[in-house]
Amino acid sequence: MKRSKTYLVWVLILVACFATWIMLKSARTNKTVGIQPLGSFPQVQIDSIQSAIQTQYGYQVVVLPKRELPENCFVQIKSPRYRADKLLKYLKSIRPDSIDFMLGLTATDISTTKKDKLGRIKQPKSKYEDWGIFGLGYRPGSACVVSSYRLSKPNKTIERLQKVVVHELGHNLGLKHCTSKLNCVMDDAAETIRTVDAGHITLCDKCKNVLD
Ligand SMILES: [Zn+2]
Ligand SMILES: [Zn+2]
């Protein structure tokens, strides 16, 4: 009799552990990403990005009604651009409560200031103070922004967009640049589109384990 009670306690503990694991797992996969088109953005590209997020992260994706690019993010230092850091602030300010991560999509050029490890503007300053980028997402964060401006190439644009979106969302989720040398989607693009083209759209096992 005593033995069967002990057995029952162990079964209950196991069931409780399993239920907790399921709950934690679904808490992670029940996240919602809100795609926010900023200005005109082709529907076919939005659809492909939506499916890439669902495939790579298993998150729900909601496409929000288009908004115009906010004028206070505009700069003309080297050429007409929108500052990515300011766009992130804007995206956070309009994030509905039901959305965990905001993804801004624009066809216009976006830029940021490139800094070194000590937080100083990289030299030469004239080159790096307003540096055109593919996308930006802080680690961790609740918003990222991706521009198709520097990704456009016949038959390549959509794949590049998907990879850059998965990369920037990865930063929001807490992932650093990957050093596994496996062409992981979290590899540092290191200022060139070649890294994006050579890389996979998937996270390597090491990066996946960080998220699990
Ligand atoms: Zn990155
Ligand atoms: Zn990786």
- Burial classification of residue 103, based on how many CB atoms lie within 10 Å of its CB (0-12 exposed, 13-18 middle, 19 or more buried): buried
- Express each pLDDT in 198-211 by its tens digit: 999 999 999 999 99
Q: In what order do the strands lie in the sheet with 131-133?
A: 74-76, 80-83, 110-112, 131-133
169: CA distance to ligand 1 center in Å? 9
165: CA distance to ligand 1 center in Å? 10
> Which ligand is located closest to the Cα atom of residue 183?
2
Quick check: 99 pLDDT over 80? Answer: yes
Domains belonging to the chain, first-starting first, are 30-211 (3.40.390.10)
pLDDT band at 4 (very low <50, low <70, confident <90, very high): confident
Quick check: 93 pLDDT over 80? Answer: yes
Which range is least confidently modeled, 103-107, 112-116, 191-195?
Answer: 191-195
Task: Report every protein residue that has its C-beta within 5 angstroms of ion ligand 2.
Answer: 178, 180, 184, 186, 204, 207
> Which ligand is located closest to the Cα atom of residue 190?
1
Quick check: 20 pLDDT over 70? Answer: no
- Express each pLDDT in 39-83 by its tens digit: 999 999 999 999 999 999 999 999 999 999 999 999 999 899 999
47: CA distance to ligand 2 center in Å? 25
* Encoded amino acid at 98, one letter: S
Q: Quick one: pLDDT at residue 6?
A: 82
21: CA distance to ligand 2 center in Å? 24
